[in-house]
Amino acid sequence: MKKISILSISIIFLLILIFVLVRPKQDIISVNLVSETTEITYTDSESIQIFDDAIRTVKKVRGSVDVGGPPTYRMTVTYANSEVVEYSLYMNFKTKNGFLIKKSNSEKMLDLKDHNSEELADLLSKENRE
């Protein structure tokens, strides 16, 4: 009886693992950023890759968050399957640190990894200089 239980649990775990690894990747087709003074839309593959990497590697911060000020940008991500996801992007350009808050779950902070945050800050700084 124990062997059957262990085998059943192993098979379920294996199926879940296969689903997670084989799940099709959603492709971003555009990212639109809106601040108080500008609106920028990114559709080029290099910029999209920076946003994609940043979104895929966020670290969920435990607990709820209450951010006092407005975000640096309101970010709208459009996927190839027509799904649209909205975020608030908070970026400190001096320290190159940033985080996201998903509109559908505004109490959870999604911390950008250092490398991704730096790439994103560099991309956005370049856009602001032009």
pLDDT at 77: 96
Dump pLDDT digits (tens) for 75-120. 999 999 889 999 999 999 999 999 998 888 777 889 899 999 999 9
pTM: 0.74
Note the CATH number of domain 26-129. 2.60.40.4400
Dump pLDDT digits (tens) for 4-24. 788 888 888 888 877 766 665
**CA torsion, ordered 78, 82, 83, 87, to nearest 10 deg:** 20
**Structure-token match 């609106």, residue found:** 39
Q: Which residue has the higher pLDDT, 116 or 61?
A: 116
Nearest to 74 by CA among 104, 35, 110, 46: 35
3-state secondary structure of 56: helix
CA pair distance 80, 29, nearest whole angstrom: 6
Domain boundaries defined on the chain: 26-129
CA pair distance 88, 76, nearest whole angstrom: 9
